[in-house]
Amino acid sequence: MKKKLIIDVDAGVDDAVAIMIALSMPDVEVLGITCCNGNTSVENVLKNVLRVLKICNRLDIPVYRGCSKPLVARTIHASDYFGTDGFGDVPDPHAPSLDLVQKKKAEQAIIDFVNENPGEVMLVSTAPLTNLAVTVQLDPTLSKKLKALFIMGGNTESRGNTTMCGEFNFVADPEAAYIVLDRYTCPTYIATWEFTCRNSLPWSFCDTWFANHTEKSEFVRRISAISRKKAQSPEFRDTNPLGCEFDLCDAYAMAAAVNADIDADINNFITESVEVAVTVELEGTYTRGMMVLDYMHKLKKEHTVFIMKKVDLEMFQEMLINAVK
């Protein structure tokens, strides 16, 4: 039986690569892709997802429009890193029409997919968690019917990439992150900012990856040109003591999902993790949006999450190569 996935994105170059990984796996069925404001506007996210599906010859996969703004927070985007359109401001005169976007809203699509496949669907979120927060408020029983949830977001050591202490996806909608980590009680796996930095790949792999010279690798090379230049700049390195190199943050969450055997409690991709209860700070002057790990059991939460620590990087590289063949 194929693994059934719903992918929630704010595409984003690394979201694009995450989608491509899922589509390259023969034992994975992508039920649908839901889109959320984040790296760029939800309108651009929809366009970007359709561009990825076109390059992968998978425009049969339904795409859904989700939330266009955070629940409470001021809207922020990552235009300084990914470009104003999220894809490096690389024009595509032959991009698919937005007429392909489904009429059904993203939140209802998630509910319907899960209800039609109870206990079978894994949800992978590589975006601010707005869509997921709205979904669980519409259907509070949703998480009991999900097989698992995989998230790229948050942090473990108060090292931020957007604020001093906050990672982008959680800072972009702290209330949504709080709701999701509070109300989704299915098995939950989180790829945090510090984790992706410590497991980043050398830039030499990036050059090797693009040297495949396929239509897909050339697509990723073009849309990632701005973010690569930014990541290799002295300014970025000076403000990032973790020493990230080629870091496709969202792809780690997807790699964990497609290699998961939830029933057997096995994941060949994750080699080390820590299980702990978590929440999100909503009120701190400097710490709003920061994920908090409860090692002292002060939260009295029954539900814990798995925080990824180390992964099989050789497997990861192989998956990235297969994704652009």
Q: Tokens 């366009």: give the residue.
A: 47
245, amino acid identity:
E
Peptide bond into 12 cis (omega under 30): yes
Sorted by sequence, the CB contacts under 8 Å of residue 233 that are 6+ apart come out as none
- Degrees (nearest 5) of the Cα angle 283, 289, 291? 110
Element counts in the chain: helices (H) and strands (E): 15, 12
Give the integer Cα–Cα distance in Å for 244 and 98.
Answer: 35
Residue 14 among the catalytic residues: no
- CA quadruple 11, 13, 18, 20: dihedral, nearest 10: 100
| Long-range contacts of 185-188, Cβ-Cβ distance < 8 Å, separation of 24 or more | 185/143, 185/144, 185/302, 185/303, 186/143, 186/144, 186/146, 186/147, 186/148, 186/149, 187/147, 187/148, 187/149, 187/262, 187/306, 188/148, 188/149, 188/150, 188/151, 188/303, 188/305, 188/306
Closest C-alpha to 321, from 255, 261, 225: 255
Please identify which of the residues 8, 10, 85, 250 carries the catalytic annotation. Answer: 10
Contact criterion met (CB below 8 Å) for 258 and 270: no
178, amino acid identity:
Y
The CA-atom distances, in angstroms, between 220 and each of 22, 122, 135, 271 are 15, 26, 31, 28
- Annotated catalytic residues are 10
